[in-house]
Amino acid sequence: MKKRIFVLLSILLLLSSNLTFSQFTQNDSALVRTTFLREFDKDIIYQYLSSNDSTKIHAALLSISHSEDTTFVDSVIKLDFNNYGDYISFALGQLGESKKSEDYLYDSAYVPFKDNYIEALGLCGDSLTLDFLMQTIDSISDSHYSPVSSITFPIVIANFYSRGITNERSLEYLVNNLKKIPQNLKLLDEYKANSILISIYNNERALNTAYALYRLGSSKEAIPELIKYLNNDYYHQTKLYALGNFRKLKYFPDDPILLSNLVNSDSWRIRTETANSACYYPFSSKGEIGNYIYLVLDNNPNVSRTAAIALKNIKYPKDQIWIKHEIEALLQNQNLTKNTRGELLISYASLFKIATDSLVNVVSQQIEPKFIYRLLADNISNPEFNFKYLNERIINSSEIELLDLLPAYLTLQNKYLNNKEYASYLFTVLKGNKTSSVSIIADGLELPIIKQNKEVLQEIILEQIFNHKNDTQFSETIISLANLANRVDNLFYESVIDMLSSSMLNSIKKYALEKQGLKFEALKDDALFIRLWSSAFKYKFAYVETNKGNFTIELKPEFAPMTCGNFITLAEKGFYNGVIFHRVVPNFVIQTGDTTNTGWGGPGYEIVSEFSPLPFDRAAVGIASIGKDTEGSQWFVMHSNYPHLNGRYTNWANVIEGMEIVDIIDEGDRVISIKFAK
């Protein structure tokens, strides 16, 4: 018995392994600089690796992880695995495909209680690696001395999937893994160490498996197993993933008691995911339908907005006329947020096939314009009305309004292919300086209109690239224009890529050189490093004041010094004051930091990524990007745990107080100010 408890305690230590060792310090300017400038000076890095100071070795491994230079592998695998296994695995996974890394990680997984390091194989192995693992997995026991265990392998599969590598047996394995997990949790009531730890082990196994299924798109075969977790509050995060699986499968169990329990859950995150998935419930009674519909009245704006969006998917008995009247009454409810009412209008029109021309004339003064535009985008049964309505607004609309107006306008392009007025409006916006609007049109033009206006489009693309290829505010837009050029003409596209290869922006230059099959070397900005480094360790806490209330974040410059320095530098100038939360995805993230309030804006420069082993769990704070080393000013806070962000976004802070405020922030809410403390 003692031996068994020791084993389980070791598992517990494994599952809660401490990845928060101090890394970068104020004394590491040279290492941080060579990392920030993407020089990766080997003299500096090897000096750190040969140190007796574990902090310096951790810092060197973080630096190496960004280098994309597999010549570092030999030095990394010489380090003491027992002391640095977490960071060795992280660095090897970030360095990418390497047979030497793959062999090392596979062999290291035999070390007792270290089998979680096999997860990195999903980041540095190739398709043959996954095939081999899938062929041998059935013969491998759940012994903690095996190279792959049932608690680990689901994450391995998910990591391979994130790189576009799959195996046809993956879903089958994940379903079978769920089937083998014991469901008897009464052991918890006995307060015995081994019983509690067994439950923790099973929870982690279920959590990883449900998550991997969710990432891969799920399987109908998993439904009976996933249902089991919906009835047990101990598996809270697993329950969220189970509901996410049902959403992807467009399924919900025919169990009115379960439906009622989930709709009335104490957790707003459970209610949100229930709203997303229970719309596929086989409704048959007024009570069941009413119970679901009233999620629209939920006190949490994330739940109510999600329910309003999902409502369009419900299947209901056609004789239940009261549903239409109930939703019409809800549309008149002044207690609903503007976002919920707008989403409810779109669902109402879709659910009951309401003619949009008559509906728009009735509600145009009560609903925000963005929802009217999205309503028109969903329904083009009366294109003449849509054309007239949108034409009257397209030229004088703000950039924020155009975010929703232009997608609606683009739905008309095949109907108005030969209409010169229509093309003129589109191309006027395309050659303008509203970055988000240019991107939307560039991404949304279809081949018929492209072919018909080939010469005009070439002229506009060349002019925009000439004027903005070095403009950070246009970086994402320039890539959209380049992709449009590819659809216009192959030879023209090659000339565009050649122009972009001389850009002074890392994101654009990297894009162009990769298309040409050439090696990319980052452009150096030492002045930016000096400016941001001076603030990197200046403060430890940031107090974010919003119109909904305040929350506090703890900065982590020991993992992301330049990101913290950037945030502090911008905030001290008042950059974030008055900026809205332009993106809120319920039970995922809230995002802010764009002064244009469109999601396309930034500070006027780019900083590099600072990935680390820190997980993107609930309350983690990350910085947005459009690819590695394209970060700027936009940052986000996690509502829940989503491991697919791990090692792909910079985790630079954590909310330590005020998550109840984060949980009620809605799109359009604002940051009022940000203050700091040491």
Q: How confident is the model at residue 426 (pLDDT cuts 50, 70, 90)?
A: very high
* CA dihedral sign of residues 656, 662, 664, 669: positive
More confident residue, 656 or 202: 656
Q: What is the pLDDT of residue 12?
A: 44
pLDDT 10s digits, 225-234: 999 889 877 7
Sequence-separated (6 or more) residues with CB below 8 Å from residue 321: none
Parallel, antiparallel, or unpaired: how do β-strands 583-585 and 549-555 relate?
Answer: unpaired
Encoded tokens for 185: 């949790």
Say which range, 449-453, 472-476, 495-499, 650-654, has the weakest mean pLDDT.
Answer: 472-476
Split at pLDDT 50, 70, 90, the class of 115 is: low
Pairwise pLDDT comparison (340 vs 186), residue with the higher score: 340
Residue 580 has pLDDT above 70, yes or no: yes
Distance CA(91)–CA(393), nearest Å, equals: 52
Beta strands (DSSP E) in 113-266 are none
Give whichever of 347-351, 395-399, 572-576 has the largest mean pLDDT: 572-576
- pLDDT > 80? residue 503: yes
- Position 3 scores a pLDDT of 42
Phi, psi (degrees; rounded to nearest 5) at 443:
-75, -25
Interval 294-302 mean pLDDT: 95
Which pLDDT does position 517 carry in this prediction?
93
* Residue that is written with structure tokens 């209610």 in the block: 271
Instruction: Reply yes or no on whether the pLDDT at 74 is more than 50.
Output: yes
d(CA 609, CA 140) in angstroms, rounded, equals 38
Confidence tier at 616 by pLDDT (50, 70, 90): very high
- pLDDT for 413: 95
Query: Beta-carbon neighbour count of residue 349 at 10 Å?
Result: 20
Q: Amino acid letter at 359? A: L
Span 100-119, average pLDDT: 71
Q: How many CA atoms lie within 13 A of 56 on its CB side?
A: 15
Q: Are 623 and 563 in contact (CB under 8 A)?
A: yes
Distance, CA of 305 to CA of 295 (rounded, Å): 9
Instruction: Give CA–CA dist 158/170, Å, rounded.
Output: 9
CA distances from 561 to 47, 66, 292, 576 (A): 20, 14, 46, 19
Asked if pLDDT for residue 8 goes beyond 50, the answer is no
Q: In sequence order, which residues have a C-beta less than 8 Å from that of residue 317 and are 6 or more positions away?
A: 283, 284
Confidence of residue 6 (pLDDT cuts 50, 70, 90): very low
Answer whether residue 422 shows pLDDT above 90.
yes
Helix (H/G/I), strand (E/B), else coil: 412:
coil
Please check whether residue 466 is in contact with residue 495, taking contact to mean a CB–CB distance below 8 angstroms.
no
Helices (H), 37-152: 42-49, 54-64, 73-76, 81-95, 99-108, 121-124, 127-136
- Poorest-pLDDT segment among 26-40, 229-243, 332-346: 229-243
Closest CA to 501 of 472, 467, 470, 480: 470
pLDDT for residue 149 is more than 90: no
- Compute the distance between CA of residue 89 and CA of residue 18 in angstroms, rounded to an integer: 14
Instruction: Report d(CA 381, CA 378) in Å as an integer.
Output: 9
Phi then psi dihedrals of residue 115, to 5 deg: -70, -10
Whether the predicted pLDDT of 258 surpasses 90: yes
Phi and psi torsions of 637, nearest 5°: -120, 135
Supply the pLDDT for residue 183.
62
Summarize the confidence of residues 104-118 as an average pLDDT.
Answer: 65
At residue 448, φ and ψ (nearest 5 deg) are -55, -45
Class of domain 528-677: mainly beta
At residue 144, the pLDDT reads 45
CA atoms lying within 13 Å on the CB side of residue 211: 26
Q: Give the residue among 602, 665, 658 at the shortest CA–CA distance from 631.
A: 602
Give the whole-angstrom CA distance, residue 160 versus residue 123: 6
Share of the chain above pLDDT 70, in %: 91
DSSP string, 532-566: HHTTTTS-SEEEEEETTEEEEEEE-TTT-HHHHHH
pLDDT at 195 over 90: no
How high is the pLDDT of residue 194? 56
pLDDT top residue among 231 and 542: 542
154 vs 11, residue with greater confidence: 154
* In the chain, where the domains are located: 2-167, 413-521, 528-677
Q: Is the pLDDT of residue 47 over 80?
A: yes
Backbone angles phi, psi at 657, to 5 degrees: -155, 135
Rounded to whole angstroms, the Cα distance separating 404 from 402 reads: 5
Where does the pLDDT of residue 20 fall: very low under 50, low under 70, confident under 90, or very high at 90 and above? low
Q: How far apart are the first and last CA of the chain?
A: 48
Domain 2-167 has CATH 3.30.70: no
Residue 635 CA, distance from chain mean position: 12
**Which residues partner with 636 through β-bridges?**
591, 622
Q: What is the pTM of this model?
A: 0.92
Give mean pLDDT, residues 283-310.
93
pLDDT value, residue 198: 64
Q: Please give the pLDDT value at position 14.
A: 47
Is the CB of residue 272 less than 8 Å from the CB of residue 240? Answer: no
What is the rounded average pLDDT for all residues in the chain?
Answer: 90
